[in-house]
Amino acid sequence: DAKTTQPPSMDCAEGRAANLPCNHSTISGNEYVYWYRQIHSQGPQYIIHGLKNNETNEMASLIITEDRKSSTLILPHATLRDTAVYYCIVRSGGATNKLIFGTGTLLAVQP
C-alpha cells in the first residue's frame, strides 16, 4: 500500500473549518483513501473514505485532487471535541485489507 505524508500538528480555532492535508503521491489506481481519528486513550474512529470523487458525510468532507496524489479532510465547524490525532491511510480492497498507520496529524482546536 502507498505511504502517506501528513503535517505533525495543526491548530484550528473553535467554530472555524479545519483543513487537514495528506500527500499520497505513490497511490495506485485501486487504492482508497481512508481517514480515521484517535482521541486520547481511545480506539481510532472511522471518519470517511473515498477513491477519486469528493465525499461528504455527517462528520466531514473529503476532497481528493484530480491526480489523486493528495487529499484534504475538512471538518466544517471544529469543536473542542475534535481535538485528536488524524490519520490518513491508503488501502486497496485486496485480500490483505490491512491498515498501516503513519504518524498522523495532531489537530488542536483552540477555544
List residues near other proteins by CB under 8 A: 32, 34, 36, 38, 41-46, 49, 51, 87, 93, 95-104
Residues 6+ apart with CB under 8 A from 42: none
Instruction: Report the residue number, 34 or 78, with the smaller CB distance to other proteins.
Output: 34
Instruction: Report the residue number, 103 or 110, with the smaller CB distance to other proteins.
Output: 103
Query: In whole angstroms, what is the distance from residue 111 CA to residue 104 CA?
Result: 22
Q: Counting beta carbons within 10 angstroms of the beta carbon of residue 58, is it exposed (0 to 12), middle (13 to 18) or buried (19 or more)?
A: exposed
Q: How far is the CB of 36 from other proteins (least distance, A)?
A: 8
Instruction: Report the residue number, 16 or 96, with the smaller CB distance to other proteins.
Output: 96
